[in-house]
């Protein structure tokens, strides 16, 4: 089944403890992206990747890192999480990062709480 | 990208057609209209997109006015599982890189009632 998977689905952690949220897609997609969703603010893009070893900042990259060493994986790294990073996170992928590729596929989400 | 305006909420009876409006009066000639939906706290799901002509797929129909300043998403026979937030998004057709992201507004919460 074609899908985007994220792990963990739920995570409660403490301020400053490094964490990684994994994202994997099995559709051989070139484009991958991370969004966060907060009440009243909608979905905002954190980072995106057009292809392997190519990543770039989205609208809200502060406090996050990403890597794209393999086509299928795009982990989101929080080196020193803070309470304002408590949010619902979504990974998405698309065949390519250009307008010719219309549909973006989203993962199930990771609900992160930083205390 | 052009801004969109959607009603915050709508109700629909199960089995009836749900018609969700979207206003995009500042849309440019090279911008498509996309619709996604998000069932409570799940990942958004693509529904349909269009440029000028009306479009239909297995999920829905998209009606775009001749002046392209507004559109309507139609779910022909709404079910309880169609209860979700529906997002209308306008984006340049051939945008890439940083412009490829989807900008989600607040959307319309559609509640399908039994």
Res. A88: pLDDT tops 80: yes
**Distance between CA atoms of residues A22 and A66, nearest Å:** 10
Are B26 and B37 spatial neighbours (Cβ–Cβ below 8 Å)?
A: no
**Segment A55-76, tens digit of pLDDT:** 999 999 999 999 999 999 999 9
Reported confidence tier of residue A2, pLDDT bands at 50, 70, 90 = confident
Average pLDDT value for residue range B73-84: 97
Q: Identify the residue with better confidence: B101 or B106.
A: B106
Tell me, yes or no, if B49 comes closer than 8 A to chain A by beta carbon: yes
**Distance between CA atoms of residues A92 and A5, nearest Å:** 9
The confidence score (pLDDT) of residue A111 equals 97
Q: Identify the residue with better confidence: A6 or B105.
A: A6
Q: Do A31 and B42 touch (CB under 8 A)?
A: no
**Segment B17-50, tens digit of pLDDT:** 999 999 999 998 888 899 999 999 899 999 999 9
Closest residue, chain A, to B38 (C-alpha): A106
Are A91 and A32 spatial neighbours (Cβ–Cβ below 8 Å)?
A: yes
Reported confidence tier of residue A101, pLDDT bands at 50, 70, 90 = low
SS3 B96: coil
Report the percent of chain A where pLDDT is more than 70: 95
Cβ under 8 Å to A: B residues 77-96: 91-96
DSSP code, position A40: T
Res. B73: pLDDT tops 80: yes
């Amino acid at each position: 089944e074609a899908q985007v998977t994220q792990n963990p689905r739920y995570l409660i952690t403490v301020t400053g403890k490094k964490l990684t949220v994994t994202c994997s897609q099995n559709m051989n997609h070139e484009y991958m992206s991370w969004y966060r969703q907060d009440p009243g603010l909608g979905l905002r893009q954190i980072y995106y990747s057009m292809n392997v070893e190519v990543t770039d900042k989205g609208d809200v990259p502060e406090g996050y890192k990403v890597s794209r060493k393999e086509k299928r994986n795009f982990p989101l790294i929080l080196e020193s999480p803070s309470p304002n990073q408590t949010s619902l996170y979504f990974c998405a992928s698309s065949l390519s990062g250009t307008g010719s590729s219309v549909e973006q596929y989203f993962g199930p989400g990771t609900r992160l709480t930083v205390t | 990208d052009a801004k969109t305006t959607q009603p915050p909420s709508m109700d629909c009876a199960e089995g009836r057609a749900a018609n969700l409006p979207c206003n995009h009066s500042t849309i440019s000639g090279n911008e498509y209209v996309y619709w996604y939906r998000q069932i409570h706290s799940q990942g958004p799901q693509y529904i349909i997109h269009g440029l000028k002509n009306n479009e239909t797929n297995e999920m829905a129909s998209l009606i775009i006015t001749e002046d392209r300043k507004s559109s309507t998403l139609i779910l022909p026979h709404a079910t309880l599982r169609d209860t979700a937030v529906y997002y209308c998004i306008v984006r340049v057709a051939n945008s890439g890189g940083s412009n490829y992201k989807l900008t989600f507004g607040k959307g319309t919460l559609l509640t399908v009632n039994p």
